[in-house]
A and B are shown apart, each in its own frame.
Chain A
Amino acid sequence: QQQVKQSPQSLIVQKGGISIINCAYENTAFDYFPWYQQFPGKGPALLIAIRPDVSEKKEGRFTISFNKSAKQFSLHIMDSQPGDSATYFCAANPTGTASKLTFGTGTRLQVTL
């Protein structure tokens, strides 16, 4: 059962543009929403994360927006660069568990010159 739905499956953005990846969840008992970045042949690495008590978190060019009432959260990459080309996964952690993440299906981002 897919509790975290991620879209789009793939995304092509020009250099300097804004990349937007969306996720929606079905279970209200999630309390932590991380985003992971994965380059080909590598393991995923934590990019940025948010908890539901804030609506937005920004780290450099990466911003998470969180809408608790809509059960949605999104990743915005400002001024996208070719080095950002990777697969991005959203995830959600159920309340009260020891980091038992449920992942989205991933978005393959390609940033063109």
Chain B
Amino acid sequence: NAGVTQTPKFQVLKTGQSMTLQCAQDMNHNSMYWYRQDPGMGLRLIYYSASEGTTDKGEVPNGYNVSRLNKREFSLRLESAAPSQTSVYFCASSPGLHYEQYFGPGTRLTVT
């Protein structure tokens, strides 16, 4: 039981490049989330998926897209990376009926 896994752990991109961050959970959770964490800003919700087949914008969705591939997987795509997207990205999942969120280990992304 690995919980929430994220790949890659680290990534460096040049401005304008694209990439997809992968997230998977093996807890049979309904809801999944993508956050970014910046110094002094806490965690801010980018997108979330309340259940398989649905996605919704969070607080800071601009510049990102998501795909809920199936119940296990929820990916985050940066189509044209910008230096302002330099951050640590966390994926999380939740059973849905309860409120506990379980976080992955994070992806540290640097855009130069």
With contacts A98-B31, A99-B94, A100-B58 taken as known, whether A105 is within 8 angstroms of B103 at the C-beta atoms is no
With contacts A43-B105, A43-B106, A44-B90 taken as known, whether A49 is within 8 angstroms of B41 at the C-beta atoms is no
Nearest CB of A to B19, in Å: 20
Within 8 Å CB of B99, what residues of A? 32, 34, 49, 93, 99, 101
- Asked whether, in the complex, the Cβ of B48 is within 8 Å of the Cβ of A100, the reply is yes
Q: Is B53 an interface residue (CB 8 A)?
A: no
How far is it, in angstroms, between the C-alpha of A32 and the C-alpha of B98 when the chains are bound? 10
Q: Of residues 1 to 35 in B, which have CB atoms within 8 Å of A's CB atoms?
A: 4, 30-31, 33
Number of A-B contacts (CB under 8 A): 62
- Asked whether, in the complex, the Cβ of B100 is within 8 Å of the Cβ of A49, the reply is yes
- Across the two chains, which residue of chain A brings its CB closest to B92? A43
Of the residues B33, B43, B48, B98, contact of A89 by C-beta under 8 Å: B43
How far is it, in angstroms, between the C-alpha of A98 and the C-alpha of B4 when the chains are bound? 18
* Residue among B45, B101, B103 having the largest count of chain A Cβ atoms under 10 Å: B101
Nearest CB of B to A23, in Å: 11
Nearest CB of A to B76, in Å: 15
Nearest CB of A to B10, in Å: 11
With contacts A43-B90, A45-B103 taken as known, whether A99 is within 8 angstroms of B58 at the C-beta atoms is no
- Asked whether, in the complex, the Cβ of B42 is within 8 Å of the Cβ of A104, the reply is yes
Within 8 Å CB of A45, what residues of B? 103
- Asked whether, in the complex, the Cβ of B44 is within 8 Å of the Cβ of A103, the reply is yes
The 5 listed contacts between A and B (C-beta, < 8 Å) are A6-B42, A34-B100, A44-B103, A89-B43, A104-B42
Q: Is A46 an interface residue (CB 8 A)?
A: yes
How far is it, in angstroms, between the C-alpha of A101 and the C-alpha of B31 when the chains are bound? 12
* Residue among A93, A101, A106 having the largest count of chain B Cβ atoms under 10 Å: A101
- Across the two chains, which residue of chain A brings its CB closest to B40? A105
* Residue among A34, A100, A105 having the largest count of chain B Cβ atoms under 10 Å: A100
